[in-house]
Amino acid sequence: EWRRDPPDEATRQRRLQVAAWPGKPMPILAWLQRHAPDQLARARFAVSSKDYLRSRLVGRVAAEVSDQSSSGYAPVERRENDPAMLAAVGLSELARLMPPLLEPMDIAGEVTAEAAAVTGLRAGTPVSAGCSDNLAVMLGTAAVTPDDVVVMAGTWGLHQCFLDALPADPSAIFLTHGLLPNTWLAIEGSPTSAGQLDWFVERFIRSQRPDVADGQLFAMLNEAVARLDPRDPPVFFLPYLNGAMDQSSARGSLIGLTNWHGLSHTVRGMMEGIAFEHRRHLDRLAALRGRPGSARFAGGAARSEPWREIFAAALNLELVLPAGRELGALGAAILA
């Protein structure tokens, strides 16, 4: 509904920011207002999960700027809550749910005696304000300048870089506030990445091989894909099990199957289809900041050698592999 209604330009840009994906917090608030108004009426604050956890540790509720802008509550031009963002989608009365804001570099408080008793943490320990997962991944991969680009292939396919100035058309790409004032994080992505192969493995392979551990199963698939003759006619995969960002009705498809194709052809086709969807997103990011010569590559796909080769070819980039695996958690620790 928000996308169909043609508002004025300022309202249109706000709506594009808040309605980029129906699973974001503001569309969920709108859903609650329509379908669970009594529940919403009892709410005191609307915060992200990490802000809730931090509030339990320090005894004070607050939100944080990078998550708040990712949620659509803080406009890209100012690091503060803006009731106009809610008004743009007919949620003016929910401005009461916006808590005070912290900066990512802030100390939010200290572990209270009550939280210490529950968690075993030491009372008085300083607690970081934290940041959005997208920003944490940048820190965890050591991508800290506007020259650095990150490609993350996990449940979501993410393509990110820092900006030190707002683009001429801020609605051309999804933006959140960066680590420091006058910095922004540009994000292109969708839920069309390595999680799609996880779905295939869970639904169609694991049920046939319950005796094989996760790591061993993926090692077998990687080996089978690596053995394929590249001259074999391909299987094509459209990675839209969760829809596409620009077409929510899109659906996943396997195309070009013949009766001599096997499991390894299908898995390779899925790897290639996911990699080329990443290329589509990377091209959009490149239109904003220029095409990079290399990118830091992370996520589940980065642990597969044949998939790394497919990604490098599809993106036509040198891929740099950061050390470590849980790079968002590492970034949060670095920030603290």
Give the Cβ contact number of residue 78 at 10 Å.
11
Q: Find where tokens 């669970």 sit.
A: 36
Would you place residue 14 in the very low, low, confident or very high pLDDT band (cuts 50, 70, 90)? low
Per-residue pLDDT for 258 more than 90?
A: yes
Give the tens place of pLDDT for each residue, 146-184: 999 999 999 999 999 999 999 888 777 889 999 999 999
In whole numbers, what is the pLDDT of the chain averaged over residues? 92
What does each C-alpha distance from 260 to 131, 143, 235, 257, 263 come to in angstroms?
49, 44, 11, 8, 10
pLDDT for position 13: 66
More confident residue, 111 or 85: 111
Contacts of 222 (CB under 8 A, 6+ apart): 304, 305, 306, 307
Please give the average per-residue pLDDT across 74-85, as a whole number: 91
SS3 of 17, please? Answer: helix
Would you place residue 19 in the very low, low, confident or very high pLDDT band (cuts 50, 70, 90)? low
Would you place residue 211 in the very low, low, confident or very high pLDDT band (cuts 50, 70, 90)? confident
What does each C-alpha distance from 275 to 121, 138, 141, 239, 270 come to in angstroms?
42, 20, 20, 10, 8
Which of 64-68, 98-102, 168-172 is least confident?
168-172
pLDDT for position 89: 85
Closest C-alpha among 17, 6, 334 to residue 172: 17
pLDDT for position 221: 93
Question: Whole-angstrom Cα distance, residue 157 to residue 169?
Answer: 23
Contacts of 71 (CB under 8 A, 6+ apart): 18, 24, 25, 26, 48
How much of the chain, in percent, has pLDDT values that exceed 90? Answer: 75
pLDDT for position 15: 65
Would you place residue 12 in the very low, low, confident or very high pLDDT band (cuts 50, 70, 90)? low
Instruction: For the chain, give the longest Cα–Cα distance.
Output: 66
Please give the average per-residue pLDDT across 22-49, as a whole number: 92
Q: Find where tokens 């077409």 sit.
A: 247
pTM for the model = 0.91
Please give the average per-residue pLDDT across 230-252, as a whole number: 90
Please give the average per-residue pLDDT across 71-95, as a whole number: 90
The span from the first CA to the last CA of the chain, in angstroms, equals 40
Give the chain's domains with CATH numbers.
Answer: 9-128 (3.30.420.40), 132-336 (3.30.420.40)
Torsion region of 158: left, alpha or beta (phi above 0 gives left; psi -120 to 50 gives alpha) = beta
Please give the average per-residue pLDDT across 240-261, as a whole number: 91
pLDDT for position 215: 80
Per-residue pLDDT for 17 more than 70?
A: no
Please give the average per-residue pLDDT across 34-45, as a whole number: 95
Per-residue pLDDT for 195 more than 90?
A: yes
pLDDT for position 131: 96
Would you place residue 209 in the very low, low, confident or very high pLDDT band (cuts 50, 70, 90)? confident
Please give the average per-residue pLDDT across 60-82, as a whole number: 92
Would you place residue 16 in the very low, low, confident or very high pLDDT band (cuts 50, 70, 90)? low
